[in-house]
Amino acid sequence: MVSNVQLADPMKLIQKVATYFKENRVIEPPPWAMFV
């Protein structure tokens, strides 16, 4: 699913990841971050 979204709209995915980090203030990246 992630790869399909990335191919469809990579900038939107990047914004989504950035928002995820900003909202959750996580220190360690989520497991799926390595695919971004």
- pLDDT 10s digits, 1-36: 555 555 667 788 888 888 877 777 666 666 666 655
pLDDT of residue 21: 75
Give me the pLDDT at residue 20, please.
78
Q: Which amino acid is at 2?
A: V
CA pair distance 13, 9, nearest whole angstrom? 7
Kindly report the length of the chain: 36
Count structural domains, the chain. 1
Could you tell me the pTM of the whole model? 0.39
pLDDT value at residue 9:
77
Print the SS3 string covering the chain. CHHHHHHHCHHHHHHHHHHHHHHHCCCCCCHHHHHC
- Domain extent, residue 5, equals 1-35
